[in-house]
Structure 1
Amino acid sequence: MKRSLFAIFTAVLLPFTLRAQDQPTPQWRPVYHFTAPQNWLNDPNGLIYLNGVYHLYYQHNPVENKWGHMSWGHAVSKDLLHWQHLPVAIPEIETKDTTTWIFSGSAVWDQHNSSGFGKKGRGPIVAIYTADQPKQNKESQFIAYSNDGGLTYTNYAHNPVVDIQKKDFRDPSVIWLEEQHKWLMTVAVPAEHKVQFYHSTNLKDWELISEFGNQGDTRKIWECPSLTPLYVDGDPARKKWLLMISSGNQDAATGMQYFIGDFDGKTFTNTDTTQLFVDAGKTFYAAIPYNHLPDNRHTMIGWLMPFETATAPWRGQMSIPRDLSLKTTATGIRLFQQPSSVLNTYLEKLPPAKKWQQSAISLDSKDFPISNEQQFNTNTNWIDATFTPGTATDFGLKIAQQKDGSSVVIGYNVARNELYIHAGKDKQQLKAAPVNNQIRLQVLFDKSSVEVFVNNGEKVITTLVFPDKEATGCAAFAEKGNVQLNNLNVWDLGK
């Protein structure tokens, strides 16, 4: 989220930001979702995997717990769950005449040193980011390079490398096109609801090759684009290109949409005119995929926007890493998302006290408790439940449950084919029909974030909740009838 969207956002949030500095909220800090040690965090940047290490750069304010002083924070992980925090990798640039904030972008491994930035023939990491210069009222694309494994970066002496003299022009996503032997940059022109495609042989000299825009949802500005090749149903003979753009969705203030199409090395052609959305919730934004993952894997991380509830001494968190795939459905080729398969190894290694499996549970009007005073009561549960609808009008899961019975409800209404999250006065929903007469819910609840993957990730809805400290109960439920809970797997990822 950048200045144009942020003006309204920060005006509403200023009192909460000030209050948060005085009131630490450890009960809401996630355990298995990434947060900065302190201060503001937004878009993930420069996601790259090298030598067995996942790098996560991110928009960060190093000095305050609110948006501003944009720099690239940095953390690394070997399992996408446990992160080592590192110093700021690319700090804001202050000179006598110019302030340059380091906005969003990507990072690539220039394996063959096409840029010439490497030392002793070794390929550097090259970051491509938006330089936001408020005094000049302009955004352009800069590059910087690292020869120490991505810890520190040197800005290119001849920046900018792409400049169209626009106030809003941002978020370059760069990938390597093997068939063309060129780098491809996808970058947004937000107010015009379009993305531009540039190519280069050396990461320094870029040529505009095509544009795409004014399709899909154009009610809000476009930003944070990415273009990713994926095999439909895992078939290498059926390659399609996934173009994701952060803008808005049908219900939320902000969100993400996607297009599925063909790309010939120059032009992206949308092959499905349906409006398609990445996440039906109102908090998932600015997601981008990793570069250089092995085994043709494609995994993205998004930012979960904090909205009006203040947290301290940090603010903002990342989503769980999500594996991406395209699958054929009755309505066409669609994006499916799943928690990264890398995380399964960790779940499998949890001790018996941290995991629980049940099957063939018949539910009626009485809740089936999952948590108790000793287990699964930390609000850090990962729940995988598969239901077969019966006579019940509604069924699902209750989390953050208090002793008086109030809770956050993740429910499914049979008559409407609707999955909903009901938290206090807030209700969000999406349409999801049963598959083989079953509804599968993968619920990742982590202190203050809730990510729900429906039917193997055909649909996803994400939100934030801020429960009371004592609201730690968890149960399965059915209303006005019965339902069969075929399989229930629960993991507690709390410390």
Structure 2
Amino acid sequence: MKRILLLFLGSLCAVSVVTAQTATPQWRPSYHFTAPKNWLNDPNGPIFINGVYHLYYQHNPFENKWGHMSWGHATSTDLLRWKHLPVAIPEIETPDTTTWIFSGSIVADAKNTSGFGKDGKAPLVAIYTADQPKQKKETQALAYSNDGGTTFTQFKGNPVIDLGLKDFRDPNVFWHEPTGKWVMAVALPAAHKIQFYSSGDLKKWDLLSEFGPQGYTRHVWECPFIVPLPVDGNPGKIKWLMMVSSGGERHPAFMQYFVGDFDGKTFKSDTPDKTILTVDHGDTFYAAIPYRLPDRHTLIGWLMPGKGETFPWRGQMSIPRDLGLVTTADGIRLVQRPAQLVTAALERLPAEKKFISKSFTIGKEKLLSKTGKFEENCWWLEVEFDVSKAGRQGVRLAADPEKKTFIEAGYDPGKKQLYVDCRTAEKDRKEPQNLFQVADLKAKNGKIKLRVLFDRSSLEVFGNDGEAVISTLVYPQANARQLWLFSDAGSGATASLKLFDMTGI
């Protein structure tokens, strides 16, 4: 996306300056997706077909920094283990111009409405933003595949939507059964608007409506999507969830969401105009879009690397998250939980990779890692604390043996906040305002559930089954590998605990 060029060539990251050339395997994730080498950003075209999850992504095939935007490609059957495939849609070079393949989506054209299919098979159609940096122009374009998504052919009639604008991007397309049309959500970034278009053949598009400005408007809007979700699991009560990525003053990774109704033409938000609903309260989760599955929508996002330099790769994806809507005292709100497919795989891990206790004594603190077990900064922890007494509780991770540096993820019952504290460990790699990150969260019956996913450099913390999430990136020193539980609530503190060793996934 063009926004990445603006953000990362700015003061926050300065990717055009010297980039790391020393290998950093200690920070390479085990169960979060990375490209084999070189730069990665936005997920594109996530689609599930014939039992296989396809992930396409913004990729520079030549360098470990942003540029030469193309679509990388990988596949998986469990959203944990990935098979890397060749670049699916490369940048286009002609004597007159360069076209970079910016973000977009893929649909399975089951009825062959586009006419791109052959031999009676449904084609896959990619709808993406064609960015022409020399012309300072963005349009929407098509490419299609008849080999299951491995290679794509550019549509000779491109572009399919051209407004003559510098910033006009990120088409997200789905089939709307009630109207029998394809629907596209696409961003007018500077105007803080999402446009909706419809088409019968993916080639000719008609403008339906616009949404916005609303909510957070102090930075551009991009990477929109809209999906229907049952409220409280009730299929008779459907609301539509729309997400928009925006960046912001505190950090360049910020996403907001709206809840409302969509009739195939217009989205009407139930969210008050000035209310800002935050998807993730950390400083790294961005540009997320979902797999549209038969029984759920599973979100995957880019974990923006910020100042962290890694080599020979840079950038990673979040853990896939199942989306839901629940009724709260404040209205209908988003919940995000690690995907069911992923959590089911945890239970199948061998016994030596699991530690489970229904009543684990913490005291003031308890060391969980030891030689040969849970000491590789690559684990998944699920813990429930009794927070009816005063005092913070949580985990200290990436701690050095003297505990002079560590990262703390926990809950503060006095402030009713989930938090991630990186102040002792990440001063050189984070903006000062992002060293301590919080999300409001209320206890349930005096209890707080935490899911803490630490994968060598990525940290995702889910509070109370995904009512609040904080995601960030950290870069521990070589000897900082200890994992502790702690409690300020008294020496008799206990918790229920599940801990999984994720090395080798």
Name the TM tier (shorter chain).
over 0.9
Deviates more, 1:27-36 or 1:11-20: 11-20
Report Cα offsets for 1:209-230 as digits up to 9, x if no partner: 0000110100110000001011
CA distance in 2 between counterparts of 1:49 and 1:194 reads 29
Instruction: Look up the equivalent residue of 1:438 and give its one-letter code.
Output: K
Contact 1:70-1:102 within 8 A present in 2 as well? yes
The structural deviation recorded for 1:309 is 1.2
Return closer, same or farther for 1:482/1:214 CA change in 2, 3 Å cut-off.
Answer: farther
The structural deviation recorded for 1:413 is 1.4
Q: Does 1:271 align with 2:270?
A: yes
The structural deviation recorded for 1:16 is 8.5
The structural deviation recorded for 1:249 is 6.1
Which residue does the alignment assign to 2:114?
A: 115
Which residue does the alignment assign to 1:341?
A: 340
Which residue does the alignment assign to 1:387?
A: 385
Report Cα offsets for 1:412-444 as digits up to 9, x if no partner: 212111111111341111111101211110000
Q: How many residues were matched structurally?
A: 490
CA distance in 1 between counterparts of 2:493 and 2:206 reads 58
User: What TM-score, normalized by structure 2, do the two folds share?
Assistant: 0.95
Which residue does the alignment assign to 1:315?
A: 314
The structural deviation recorded for 1:361 is 3.0
CA distance in 1 between counterparts of 2:418 and 2:211 reads 33
The structural deviation recorded for 1:337 is 0.3
Contact 2:390-2:414 within 8 A present in 1 as well? no
CA distance in 2 between counterparts of 1:453 and 1:18 reads 35
Contact 2:8-2:15 within 8 A present in 1 as well? no
Q: Does 1:444 align with 2:442?
A: no
Report Cα offsets for 1:260-315 as digits up to 9, x if no partner: 00011110000121310100001000000113x23x21101000000011000000
Which stretches in structure 1 are left out of the alignment for 5+ residues? none
Which residue does the alignment assign to 1:165?
A: 164
Q: Does 1:494 align with 2:503?
A: yes
Contact 1:398-1:476 within 8 A present in 2 as well? yes
Instruction: Look up the equivalent residue of 1:491 and give its one-letter code.
Output: F
The structural deviation recorded for 1:252 is 3.4
The structural deviation recorded for 1:400 is 0.6
SS at match of 2:102: strand
The structural deviation recorded for 1:4 is 3.8
Instruction: Give matches, 1:39-188, under 5 Å.
Output: 39-188=38-187
CA distance in 1 between counterparts of 2:444 and 2:197 reads 41
Cα root mean square deviation, aligned: 1.5
SS at match of 1:204: coil
Contact 2:128-2:141 within 8 A present in 1 as well? yes
Which residue does the alignment assign to 2:477?
A: 468
Percent identity (aligned) = 54
Which residue does the alignment assign to 2:431?
A: none
SS at match of 2:439: strand
User: What TM-score, normalized by structure 1, do the two folds share?
Assistant: 0.96
Deviates more, 1:256-265 or 1:431-440: 431-440
CA distance in 2 between counterparts of 1:436 and 1:143 reads 52
Which residue does the alignment assign to 1:287?
A: 288
CA distance in 1 between counterparts of 2:491 and 2:3 reads 49
Instruction: Look up the equivalent residue of 1:18 and give its one-letter code.
Output: V
The structural deviation recorded for 1:42 is 0.1
Which residue does the alignment assign to 2:430?
A: none
CA distance in 1 between counterparts of 2:185 and 2:456 reads 35
Which residue does the alignment assign to 1:459?
A: 468
Which stretches in structure 2 are left out of the alignment for 5+ residues? 428-434
The structural deviation recorded for 1:483 is 6.7
Q: Provide runs of 4+ in structure 1 moved above 4 Å.
A: 14-17
SS at match of 1:192: coil
Report Cα offsets for 1:53-85 as digits up to 9, x if no partner: 000000000000000000000000000000000
Which residue does the alignment assign to 1:430?
A: 439
The structural deviation recorded for 1:255 is 1.0
Which one of 375, 378, 400 corresponds to residue 376 of structure 2?
A: 378
Which residue does the alignment assign to 2:193?
A: 194
SS at match of 1:220: coil
Return closer, same or farther for 1:61/1:15 CA change in 2, 3 Å cut-off.
Answer: closer
Instruction: Look up the equivalent residue of 2:156 and give its one-letter code.
Output: A
Return closer, same or farther for 1:8/1:77 CA change in 2, 3 Å cut-off.
Answer: closer
Instruction: Look up the equivalent residue of 2:277 and give its one-letter code.
Output: L
Instruction: Look up the equivalent residue of 1:333 and give its one-letter code.
Output: I
Contact 2:441-2:463 within 8 A present in 1 as well? yes
Contact 1:16-1:308 within 8 A present in 2 as well? no
